[in-house]
């Protein structure tokens, strides 16, 4: 759920900052001339960094997620629960006509699940121990259907394309803003080297700021795709199972703070108001439940 998007966005932002720094240090794609900025060269520079950063994030997403959360991949099931999970994902994958994803479990009291991977035939579906502890078989099946649907719908690849476009404009406008800020505060006496160093530092700051703001576009896209994944899961496992799973998540989040695990209080899949709703990867659970009706 949120983990899939959060890891992707954080990795993507880190990569474009590093790529920007490396290309600037080695003078690759120079776009600053004696007459000012060459906007065409700058846009090509931003395009290369933007899509390279996005697709590197996509290609390493599965590898990075496994190591970040210590996911145990089920190769030979060691219990009835593991065998059921593996068989259910296989069944859903066959129904949605995709290759069998890797299936994993990770330790966390927070009920959560996610799918990731650059290829719909080489993905990963993982669930938390908290999800298995708090949901019955029908509810878990609906969550698995939702995550397999993300893979079948090509959501990670589409997200990478959207992120690539967003990255391009983030880098483009960050470099323009940094250029004019540097020109405004610099003077001829400071020398070209100093101005270049200041410009490099200011451009990185703008990239981070613009990148955070632009993530609202990616989050809007993610919220839109959640409804589609819900609908796909409802199609294959049944609307009632999907509705029950969402209702169960809503009930878990609405537990009094002193009766639920601390991690559950930070769930990103339901509650968000004010400005925070623009940075949420998922619509409110009540909206998702209503949409199923």
Residue 280 has pLDDT above 90, yes or no: no
Residue of 141, 147, 207, 226 marked active site: 147
pLDDT at 179: 87
Residue 158 has pLDDT above 70, yes or no: yes
Residue 260 has pLDDT above 70, yes or no: no
pLDDT in tens, 131-140: 999 999 999 9
Q: Which residue has the higher pLDDT, 257 or 287?
A: 287
CB contact set of 240 (below 8 Å; sequence gap of 6+): none
**261, two tokens:** 């695990």
- CA–CA gap between residue 262 and residue 131 (Å, rounded): 15
Q: Which residue has the higher pLDDT, 47 or 21?
A: 47
Can you give the pTM of this predicted structure? 0.81
pLDDT in tens, 103-118: 999 999 989 999 998 8
Q: Which residue has the higher pLDDT, 14 or 56?
A: 56
pLDDT at 191: 46
The two beta strands, 124-128 and 102-106, are parallel
Domain ranges of the chain: 1-293
Q: What is the DSSP string of 57-87?
A: HHHHHHHHHHHHHT-EE-SS--SHHHHHHHH
pLDDT at 81: 93
Residue 190 annotated among the catalytic residues of the structure: no
Among the listed residues 156, 279, 281, 130, the one whose alpha carbon sits nearest the alpha carbon of residue 214: 279
pLDDT in tens, 212-236: 888 889 889 889 899 999 999 999 9
| Residue found under tokens 């992707």 | 8
State mean pLDDT over 137-162: 94
pLDDT at 293: 79
How sure is the predictor about 195, in pLDDT bands with cuts at 50, 70 and 90? low
pLDDT at 37: 78
Report the sign of the C-alpha dihedral through residues 108, 71, 135, 142, in that order.
Answer: positive
- What mean pLDDT is reported for the chain? 83
């Amino acid at each position: 759920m949120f983990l899939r998007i959060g890891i992707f966005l954080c990795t993507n932002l880190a990569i474009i900052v590093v790529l920007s720094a490396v290309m600037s240090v080695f003078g690759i794609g120079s776009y600053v001339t004696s007459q000012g900025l060459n906007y065409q060269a700058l846009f090509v520079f931003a395009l290369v960094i933007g899509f390279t950063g996005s697709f590197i994030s996509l290609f390493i997403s599965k590898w990075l997620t496994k190591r970040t959360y210590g996911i145990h991949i089920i190769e030979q099931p060691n219990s009835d629960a593991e065998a059921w999970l593996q068989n259910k994902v296989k069944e859903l994958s066959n129904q949605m006509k995709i290759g069998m994803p890797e299936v994993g479990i990770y330790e966390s009291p927070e009920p959560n699940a996610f799918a990731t991977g650059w290829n719909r035939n080489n993905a990963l579906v993982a669930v938390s121990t908290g999800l298995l502890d708090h949901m019955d078989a029908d509810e878990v099946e609906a969550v698995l259907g939702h995550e397999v649907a993300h893979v079948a719908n090509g959501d990670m690849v589409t997200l990478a394309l959207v992120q690539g476009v967003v990255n391009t404009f983030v880098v483009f406008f960050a470099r323009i803003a940094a250029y004019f800020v540097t020109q405004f505060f610099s003077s001829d006496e400071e020398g070209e080297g100093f101005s270049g160093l200041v410009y490099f530092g200011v451009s990185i700051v703008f990239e981070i700021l613009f990148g955070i703001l632009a993530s609202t576009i990616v989050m809007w896209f993610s919220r839109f795709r959640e409804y589609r994944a819900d609908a796909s899961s409802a199609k294959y496992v049944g609307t009632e199972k999907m509705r029950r799973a969402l209702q169960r998540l809503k009930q878990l989040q609405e537990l009094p703070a002193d009766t639920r695990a601390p991690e559950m209080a930070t769930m990103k899949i339901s509650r968000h108001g004010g400005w925070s709703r623009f940075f949420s990867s998922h619509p409110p659970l009540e909206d998702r439940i209503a949409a199923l009706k």
